[in-house]
């Protein structure tokens, strides 16, 4: 992590919390895409997309070389993702669980909410 000499650890945590609050406030994949394209360099965005692309395969237990063949992601990156899937903070598992029922970028829950919102607009 990049160290800021004039920022205290408390200020760093506050900045991190504000960032995660901003992400949590976004409601659609399109909103997230716009935010992350503004926030990240193309290389940073690609690195995150690569990591996310291999999570499902790692969870299914596919060999790293097979995951590499399917995704083009380096075996080193696949190993890093696998390590965090197994012993990380639980973020990959949570996000995978929350997105597993999605179709066209919306969860069933969000789809129902969208239908209710649309119905309310039309009377």
Mean pLDDT per 10-residue segment, the chain (123 residues): 79 96 97 98 98 97 98 97 97 95 50 41 39
Q: What would the 3-class secondary structure string for 42-78 be?
A: HHHHHHHHHHHHHHHHHHCCCCHHHHHHHHCCCHHHH
Residues 48 and 80 in one domain: yes
1 in any annotated domain: no
Which residue, among 84, 57, 80, has the nearest Cα to 68 in the 3D structure?
Answer: 57
- CA 95 to mean position of chain CA atoms: 7
Domains identified in the chain, total number: 3
Same-domain pairing of 60 and 30: no
Is the same domain home to 98 and 113? yes
Per-residue pLDDT tens digits for 15-36: 999 999 999 999 999 999 999 9
Interatomic CA distance for residues 58 and 43, integer angstroms: 22
Structural domain harbouring 18: 9-39
Instruction: Identify whether residues 35 and 50 lie together within a single domain.
Output: no
Q: Is residue 75 part of a domain?
A: yes
54 and 83 in a common domain: yes
């Amino acid at each position: 992590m990049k160290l800021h000499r004039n920022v205290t650890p408390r200020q760093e945590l506050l900045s991190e919390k504000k960032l995660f609050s901003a992400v949590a406030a976004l409601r659609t994949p399109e909103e997230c895409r716009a935010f992350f394209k503004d926030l990240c360099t193309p290389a940073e965005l690609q690195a995150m997309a690569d990591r996310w692309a291999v999570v499902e395969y790692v969870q299914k237990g596919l060999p790293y070389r097979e995951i590499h063949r399917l995704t083009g992601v380096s075996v080193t990156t696949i190993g890093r993702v696998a390590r965090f899937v197994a012993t990380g903070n639980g973020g990959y598992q949570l996000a995978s669980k929350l997105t597993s029922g999605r179709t066209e970028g919306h969860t069933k829950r969000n789809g129902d909410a969208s239908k209710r919102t649309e119905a309310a607009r039309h009377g």
